[in-house]
Amino acid sequence: KAGVTQTPRYLIKTRGQQVTLSCSPISGHRSVSWYQQTPGQGLQFLFEYFSETQRNKGNFPGRFSGRQFSNSRSEMNVSTLELGDSALYLCASSLGLAGEAGYEQYFGPGTRLTVT
């Protein structure tokens, strides 16, 4: 069974631009969660999508948005990029809602975003 895939793996953007990251979950998984990893901050939760609906949201500004398609693939968009948005963006998929016991999350390799 293929794992979680994320594209692109690496991205360089300049301040003020916008970016779209893509995540394809494991086949059959309906939940996709997004996390931001920065040095010293660990992984911080962005949002979770389940059956095309945002079910949970972290403490990030409105510049960070996402969506999920009927095939469970998800995209994350960051508008008006800032230098501080440079990070590794990880997505994770699970069979059910991430908060439900037994539904472990499986992570993709991440997209390394550098904002210059």
Partner 1 sequence: DQQVKQNSPSLSVQEGRISILNCDYTNSMFDYFLWYKKYPAEGPTFLISISSIKDKNEDGRFTVFLNKSAKHLSLHIVPSQPGDSAVYFCAAKGGTSYGKLTFGQGTILTVHP
Residue 110, interface with partner 1 (CB under 8 A)?
yes
Which of 13-21, 52-60, 63-71, 74-82 is the region at the interface with partner 1 (rule: CB under 8 A)?
Answer: 52-60
Alpha-helical (H) ranges within the chain are none
The pair of structure tokens assigned to 21 is: 């990251």
Q: Which of 76, 81, 90, 115 binds partner 1 (CB under 8 A)?
A: 90
Q: Which of 43, 60, 73, 86 binds partner 1 (CB under 8 A)?
A: 43
* Coil vs helix vs strand at 32: strand
Query: What distance in Å separates the CA atoms of residue 32 and residue 99, rounded to the nearest whole number?
Result: 12
Residue 84, interface with partner 1 (CB under 8 A)?
no
